[in-house]
Amino acid sequence: MAKRRKTREAAGEMLDGNRSAAVGAKLSRVQVIAAYPITPQTPVTEALSEFVERGELPAQYVNVESEHSALAVCSSASLVGARTFTATSSHGLAYMHEMLHWVAGTRLPVVLACVNRAIGAPWSVLNDQQDSISQRDTGWIQVYAWNNQEILDSVIQAYKIAEATCLPVMVCYDGYVLSHTEMPVDVPPQDAVDRFLPPYKPHTTIEAGNPKNYNLVTLANPRLNADGVLCHGYMEIRYLLQEALEQSTETIAAVGREFGKSFGRSYAGLLWEDGMEDADIAMVAMGSLAMEANVAADSLRKGGIKAGVVGLRIFRPFPKRDLVRVLRGCRLAVVFDKSVSYGNEGAVGNEIKAALYGIDTRVAVRDFIVGLGGRDVKARELADAVKKALASVEGGALSQEKADWICEI
Amino acid sequence: MGTRDCGHICGESSPGMGEAGKTGDWRTSRPVIDEERCTPARNHKPACFLCWLYCPEAVISKTIPVRIDMEYCKGCGICSQVCPTHAIAMVEEADSLKDR
């Protein structure tokens, strides 16, 4: 389990999140890029087209008329053996929804940067995580970065993970909070990245001498093909997708460890932890919100409340085992969600409760909905939420039916 | 033994006869060739073959006389439509069974 590092040892370039994603894609030697600009992702497309135009990146940049087409281009290019990249946000990701399923079902290692933005209605260009959370069931691995270094590092790792598991990876990072905020980022040298990430070898092949048909109409039951080989029905292919997601936790950790050996920054855990060794109370969040939770935890500790922070780096596959291990000894887990499964509760809170079911623990879970549509989340509000949750736990209830919303209704 | 042994991880096939199963049973009407009218059959010369050219399932032979593989013919009727001498009639399957 990796511990969140509060300081950086190497001075790097000053990069915003979008530039970090674009540089990560460039260092990964992507061969085909297709993306449609949308706020706040636009600078990613600008940076990449600039790299291609200047001849710094020998890739094909395909201009498309929509996000649906962008991912369709990446899907086809990946199928014939190109390393592909796309980026989008919010409504653009929603427009890709169908192709997200196609890419995962074809087991293509496409990497997508999702710059998290709220989704309409009403219109908002500001940050929350509803866009990518709404796509959690499409069969993509989802990574949530908490700073710009992690965006760059995650894009490079994403290709290694994707190509090893034959699964597409979505690298998510908070719009504006990270996408438009500059931080020092250590940019690894190209030759080191080349050693870490060998060229893409596709599991699919379409060649003149060896024609194939991918994604044929697949009937419900297994069936003999023309050569008499028993082939999957629809359900067997979907089972393999689920199995690959479940098994990918090992690959994600292994790639993260190897990245640490190559570049000095280890990503061996699916979670980040801070101050959890002796914590009574875990503050759980995803993305840049976990940073804010760190500040809140420090202030709570000053007031005698032993709080720690758990940041989910990976949301799909859901890191059940790690969460159970880190939370089971706590008295209370306070989850902060930047998304809602409407009609139920926050996505992270809901899934943590499910992960804890049947485990021998008395950890109470409280879920708070925060920061939707760019609403500022202050460390003080997070600390107050923890105090409110603590008071409710005194009553003895492990769970509450509804999530609390931190807003002014 | 399960389907894992096929080695595929997504829907995948190679072109081959009957890859999509025996599609002949999809048919509701069947093409019946009148060899008195069919150009190659009547003239004993390799000519016309528009039905062979247009058949989307590649189940019509470029032979004299022309043959249709009824195991895979889906009965779409394109051959009947393109035949310049109206030599191919589409006959309801139920009726064609009655005649036998």
Tell me whether residues A226 and B11 touch, CB distance under 8 A. Answer: no
B18 touches chain A (CB under 8 A): yes
Domain that residue A377 falls in: 271-405
Q: Report pTM.
A: 0.90
Is A27 in the same domain as A66?
A: yes
Do A229 and B15 make contact, defined as CB atoms within 8 angstroms? no
- The confidence score (pLDDT) of residue A121 equals 97
CATH of the domain at A46: 3.40.50.970
- Of A101, A85, A133, which is closest to residue B11 (Cα–Cα)? A101
Q: What is the DSSP letter of A4?
A: P
Residues A296 and A401 in one domain: yes
Spell out which residues of chain A touch residue B8, defining contact as CB-CB under 8 Å: 231-232, 237
What's the confidence (pLDDT) of residue A352?
Answer: 97
**Ranges of chain A with pLDDT below 70:** 1-11
Are residues A217 and B20, on separate chains, in Cβ contact within 8 Å? yes
For A52, list phi and psi in degrees, rounded to 5.
-70, -45
My answer on whether A160 and A279 are in the same domain is no
Residues A144 and A49 grouped into a single domain: yes
Indicate if A262 and A124 belong to the same structural domain: yes
Instruction: Give phi and psi for A382, each to the nearest 5.
Output: -65, -40
Give the span between the Cα atoms of A386 and A391, in whole angstroms.
9
Residue A1 is predicted with a pLDDT of 43
For residue range A265-292, list pLDDT tens digits in order. Answer: 999 999 999 999 999 999 999 999 999 9
Cβ contact, residue pair A215, B11, below 8 Å: yes
Concatenate the DSSP letters of all residues of A176-206 into one string.
Answer: TTTTT--EEE----HHHHHHHSPPP--S---
Q: pLDDT band for B21, please (50, 70, 90 cuts).
A: confident
Q: Which residues of B touch A230 (CB under 8 A)?
A: 1, 3, 5-6
B26 lies within 8 A of chain A by CB: no
Domain check: are A390 and A280 in the same one? yes
The number of helix segments (H) and strand segments (E) in chain A equals: 13, 19
Of A210, A230, A237, the CB nearest to B10: A237
Domain boundary, last residue among A268, A287, A307 = A268
Residue A211 distance to chain B (closest CA, Å)? 6
**What number of helices (H) and strands (E) belong to chain B?**
4, 3
* A35-58 burial: b if 16+ Cβ within 10 Å, else e: bbbbbbbbbbbebbbebbeeeebe
Chain A residues whose beta carbon lies within 8 Å of the beta carbon of residue B25: none
The total domain count for chain A is 2
d(CA B8, CA A135) in angstroms, rounded, equals: 25
Instruction: Identify the domain boundary among A268, A285, A311.
Output: A268
- Please report which residue ranges of A224-378 form alpha helices under DSSP H: 234-263, 289-302, 320-327, 347-356
Q: Note whether B14 contacts A204, CB cutoff 8 Å.
A: no
* Subunit contact B6:A227, Cβ cutoff 8 A: no
> Quick one: A5 and A135 in the same domain?
yes
The pLDDT, as a whole number, for residue B1 is: 66
Angle between helices A148-165 and A17-27 (to 10 degrees): 40
Structure tokens given for B89: 């009639």
* CA–CA gap between residue A135 and residue A172 (Å, rounded): 12
The answer on A139 and A221 residing in a single domain is yes
Test the B interface: residue of A78, A110, A234, A237 with most B CBs within 10 Å: A237
The 10s digit of each residue's pLDDT in B48-84 is: 999 999 999 999 999 999 999 999 999 999 999 999 9
CATH number at residue A303: 3.40.50.920
pLDDT at residue A8 in the model: 47
Task: Name every residue in A having a CB less than 8 A away from some CB of B.
Answer: 105-107, 166, 203-204, 210-219, 222-223, 225-227, 229-233, 236-237, 240, 244
> Do residue A213 and residue B19 have CB atoms under 8 angstroms apart?
yes
Please judge whether A237 and B19 are an interchain contact, meaning their C-beta atoms are less than 8 angstroms apart: no
- Residues A338 and A214 occupy one common structural domain: no
- Report the run of H or E that residue A332 belongs to, with start and end: strand A332-337
CB contact under 8 A, A107 and B9: yes
Q: Are residues A55 and A9 in the same domain?
A: yes
Where is the domain boundary, A207, A234, A268? A268
Q: Is A7 exposed, middle or buried (0-12, 13-18, 19+ CB in 10 A)?
A: exposed
User: What is the nearest CA distance from A242 to chain B, expressed in angstroms?
Assistant: 11
The confidence score (pLDDT) of residue A397 equals: 86
Note whether A177 and A117 are within 8 A (CB).
no
Tokens at B11, concatenated: 């829907």
Q: Which residues of A234-250 are buried (b: 16+ CB within 10 A; e: fewer)?
A: eebbeebbeebbeebbe
The complex scores an ipTM of: 0.88
- pLDDT number for residue A394: 85
Say if CB A309 and CB A321 are below 8 A apart.
Answer: no
Is some CB atom of chain A closer than 8 A to the CB atom of B94? Answer: no
Same domain, A132 and A262: yes
Q: Cα separations (Å) of A219 from A100, A125, A216? A: 21, 42, 9
Same domain, A250 and A368: no
B22–A contact, CB cutoff 8 A:
no
CA–CA distance, A381 with A389 (Å, rounded to integer): 12
